[in-house]
């Protein structure tokens, strides 16, 4: 069964990790080999036997990895003498030592715990046999990310079309169609569709980078999945007239999984799109990769910012630091836009300029500062953007710092009559333990269309993501190795599409709702430092920002329990939303008479989360879980309610004796104090080693009016 993912904005990532060395005199080498006599290997065992022949009597313990799909070669632990001897073997092409912290272009697979040649990525066969459909701005088929090297033929059931007027489709890009706008072909005139498609399922491309940063091997989340691309545009409207919601419902009925971006209108609440409960709604967060560009102040304080283009020879001599917005009455002076520096001497100085929103162009600022002779720019976020650093591509020496760090720099400038600074460029750095951080732009819940369904569902990598691009932004016309860093929830969405493809490859019988449940109930709610996930304010994020939490692909492969929803289960839900018979029929494509159906409130839908709007009444709902773990297993519940709320679960322990067995439990919500709250309860189920345990519930509260909301 095909897996179909809807992408409305952008996404991409990938990376590798390497084995730890056990002996000081041994080092891991990546060895590239090629049969010199044109020999063809008929099976994997024969190829592996040939690889082992290079190691002679060293044997299996020295072999770390063998490569079959991307390159011909292997990774092995060798001494320097053994490495030199290996170069004399017939068929040896090249070898290089592994790097302990490689700078991978698409770092997100590694950040998501997907490692080449072992674990869930290997077990899922990299999404082999699954078809990912991308509804976006089209695709640039000649990009190496869409090479079909190592790809199997399309599934026999595939009946799609390739509407390019030249031979562009292959075993990777198996379908491409044009529907509503553009040049009459699926060719990507915007770049967005190329970026998202390569994020979800791009093939391995070595040497990818953007202006020398994030250098490494680019790869999608499901690199062996096939791609079918559809050039379409739409806008989000209520379910009944929303082409995305309608198409997604039809897809879901056929067993096709649909994921969509949450949109980029955060951090304000109630700004989501694509909120139908049969869609996985994806918000955006950071990875642990930083393109570090540090501000060194005259008082020796260092403040870390980021920049894409990093000059190698920027002087470390302190330069005068000036903030035009401090003294100039021109309201645009703080943004350093056109004409704002006419009366300010910035020649040879570092200029502090506020950024006027994350999507605003920085070109007017660059032209103004450069024209006035400024040496460099420190861009500072506005308060809504907080610490979210969406990086512009700027050739003038720059760095971008968060809002709070901008205040620190301004405080330093106010403390001295001669503020000084310089910029120290440190390149790509991996290991920020505050990651993931919810991006400021990621749209927030609650869902206005259906507030009883918690949205977004999940967050994933979507800030400064390196992915394929149709043309070279760097001006290099002699290469197809064209990539770009981009940010948006549509960059997060393809990550989740790729994860769903991996899950479908391992569990071909899982329904779309089962895949969604597995992703949501195993999500991470803490960052790499094991603290609660933060938002752009660097304070704990609420569930309207994170949904269930940050995707954890490996855990999603083994959720223990899942919440399934069949297509017919949505009809009582839709009738309960007070849709007319005709409106429900438009969505479900079948005749419906709501007066003959037992309608349900939104919170009664068998969703993997609860969204409860409190009035004065006690509210009780049920959930039905299906055992997809070990046949004989038990689960006990743990609850951590917010102040003033009582949550009771009956029974508080459930036992299973067989696989796919279903059990229903009941959850009752009531108030303890005289306060009115909107309560959101997220149930995350973990698969324990000995006893399967309902994990600690996540609860968030926001205040409503006296009569509820």
Q: What is the set of active-site residues? A: 136, 192, 490
Q: Beta partners for 648? A: 668
Q: In this structure, what token pair is assigned to residue 34? A: 């090629």
The residues facing 297 across adjacent strands are 421
How open is the CA angle 168-174-176, to the nearest 5 degrees? 65
Return d(Cα 426, Cα 420) in angstroms, integer: 20
Q: Given CA atoms 86, 92, 93, 99 in this order, what sign does their dihedral have?
A: negative
Alpha carbon 559 to its chain centroid, in Å, reads: 20
Q: What are the contacts of 323-332 at 24+ separation with CB within 8 A?
A: 323/351, 323/352, 323/410, 323/413, 324/351, 324/352, 324/353, 325/352, 325/354, 326/410, 326/413
**Phi, psi at residue 379, to the nearest 5°?**
-80, 140
Distances from the Cα of 485 to the Cα of 105, 305, 473, 488, angstroms: 9, 16, 10, 11
Residues 76 and 59: beta-carbon distance below 8 Å: no
DSSP states of 447-467: -SS-TTS-S--EEEE-SSEEE
* C-beta separation of 495 from 484 below 8 A: no
334 in Cβ contact with 354 (< 8 Å): yes
DSSP-derived pairing of the beta strands 173-178 and 226-231: parallel
Are the CB atoms for 358 and 441 separated by under 8 Å?
yes
User: Torsion over CA of 211, 212, 216 and 218, rounded to 10 degrees?
Assistant: 0
For residues 344 and 321, give the distance between their C-alpha atoms in angstroms, rounded to a whole number: 12
CA dihedral angle for residue 384, residue 390, residue 394, residue 397, rounded to 10 degrees: 80
Q: Which two tokens stand for residue 338?
A: 């056109």
CA distance 495 to 109: 9
- Reference 635, options 586, 688, 675, 596; nearest CA is 688
Round to whole Å and give the CA distance between 126 and 86. 31
What span, in angstroms and rounded, lies between the C-alpha atoms of 543 and 388? Answer: 18
Please measure the distance between the N-terminal and C-terminal CA atoms of the chain and give it in whole angstroms: 42
**Which runs of consecutive H residues, i.e. helices, occur in 512-602?**
512-521, 543-546, 553-556, 570-576, 581-588
Question: Per the structure block, which two tokens stand in for 705?
Answer: 């009016």
CA dist., res. 484 & res. 276, Å (int): 31
């Amino acid at each position: 069964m095909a897996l179909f993912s809807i992408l409305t904005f952008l996404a991409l990532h990938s990376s590798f990790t390497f084995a730890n060395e056990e002996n000081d005199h041994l080092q891991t080498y990546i060895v590239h080999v090629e049969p010199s006599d044109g020999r063809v290997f008929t099976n994997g065992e024969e190829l592996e036997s040939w690889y082992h022949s290079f190691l002679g009597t060293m044997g299996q313990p020295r072999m770390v990895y063998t490569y079959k799909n991307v390159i011909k070669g292997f990774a092995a632990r060798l001494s320097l003498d053994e490495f030199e001897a290996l170069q004399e073997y017939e068929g040896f092409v090249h070898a290089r030592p592994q790097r302990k912290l490689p700078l991978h272009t698409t770092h997100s697979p590694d950040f998501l715990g997907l490692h080449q040649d072992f674990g869930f990525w290997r077990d899922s066969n990299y999404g082999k046999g699954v078809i990912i459909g991308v509804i976006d701005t089209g695709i640039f088929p000649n990009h190496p990310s869409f090479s079909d090297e190592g790809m199997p033929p399309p599934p026999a059931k595939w009946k799609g079309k390739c509407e390019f007027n030249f031979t562009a489709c292959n075993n990777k890009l198996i379908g491409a169609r044009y529907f509503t706008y553009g040049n009459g072909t699926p060719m990507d005139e915007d770049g967005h569709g190329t970026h998202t498609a390569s994020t979800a399922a791009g093939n391995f491309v070595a040497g990818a980078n953007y202006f020398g940063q994030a250098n490494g091997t680019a790869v999608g989340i499901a690199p062996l999945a096939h791609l079918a691309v559809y050039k379409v545009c739409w806008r989000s409207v209520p379910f009944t007239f929303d082409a995305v919601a309608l198409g997604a419902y039809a897809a879901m009925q056929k067993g096709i999984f649909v994921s969509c971006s949450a949109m980029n209108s955060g951090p304000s609440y109630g700004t989501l799109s694509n909120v139908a409960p049969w869609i996985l709604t994806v918000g955006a967060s950071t990875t642990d990769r930083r393109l570090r560009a540090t501000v060194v102040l005259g008082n020796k304080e260092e403040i870390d910012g980021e920049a894409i283009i990093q000059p190698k020879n920027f002087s470390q001599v302190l330069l005068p630091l000036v903030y035009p917005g401090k003294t100039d009455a021109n309201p645009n002076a703080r943004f350093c836009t056109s004409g704002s520096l006419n009366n300010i001497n910035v020649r040879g100085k570092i200029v502090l300029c506020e950024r006027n929103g994350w999507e605003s162009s920085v070109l007017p600022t660059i032209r103004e500062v450069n024209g006035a002779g400024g040496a460099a720019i420190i861009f500072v976020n506005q308060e809504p953007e907080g610490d979210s650093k969406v990086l512009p591509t700027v050739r003038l020496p720059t760095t971008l710092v968060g809002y709070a760090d901008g205040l620190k720099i301004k405080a330093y400038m106010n403390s001295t009559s001669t503020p000084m600074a310089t910029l120290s460029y440190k390149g790509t750095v991996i290991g920020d333990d505050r990651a993931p951080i919810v991006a400021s732009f990621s749209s927030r819940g609650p869902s206005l269309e259906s507030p009883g369904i918690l949205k977004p569902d999940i967050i994933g990598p979507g800030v400064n993501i390196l992915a394929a691009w149709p043309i070279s932004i760097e001006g290099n016309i002699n290469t197809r190795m064209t990539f770009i860093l981009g940010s948006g929830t549509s960059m997060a969405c393809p990550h989740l599409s790729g994860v769903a493809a991996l899950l479908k490859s391992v569990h071909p019988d899982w329904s779309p709702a089962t895949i969604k449940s597995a992703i949501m109930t195993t999500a991470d709610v803490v960052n790499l430092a094991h603290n609660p996930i933060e938002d752009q304010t660097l304070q704990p994020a609420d569930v309207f920002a994170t949904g269930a939490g940050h995707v954890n692909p490996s855990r999603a492969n083994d959720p223990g329990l899942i919440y399934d929803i069949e297509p017919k289960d949505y009809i009582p839900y839709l009738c309960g939303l007070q849709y007319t018979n005709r409106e429900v029929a438009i969505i479900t494509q079948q005749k419906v008479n709501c007066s003959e159906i037992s309608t349900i409130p939104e919170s009664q839908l068998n969703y993997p989360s609860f969204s409860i709007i409190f009035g004065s009444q006690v509210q009780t709902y049920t959930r039905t879980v299906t055992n997809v773990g070990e046949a004989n297993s038990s689960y006990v519940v743990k609850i951590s309610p917010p102040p003033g709320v009582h949550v009771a679960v009956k029974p508080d322990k459930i036992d299973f004796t067989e696989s796919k067995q279903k059990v229903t439990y009941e959850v009752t919500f009531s108030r303890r104090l005289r306060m009115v709250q909107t309560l959101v309860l997220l149930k995350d189920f973990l698969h324990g080693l000995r006893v399967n345990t309902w994990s600690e519930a996540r609860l968030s509260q926001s205040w409503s009016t006296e009569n509820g909301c």
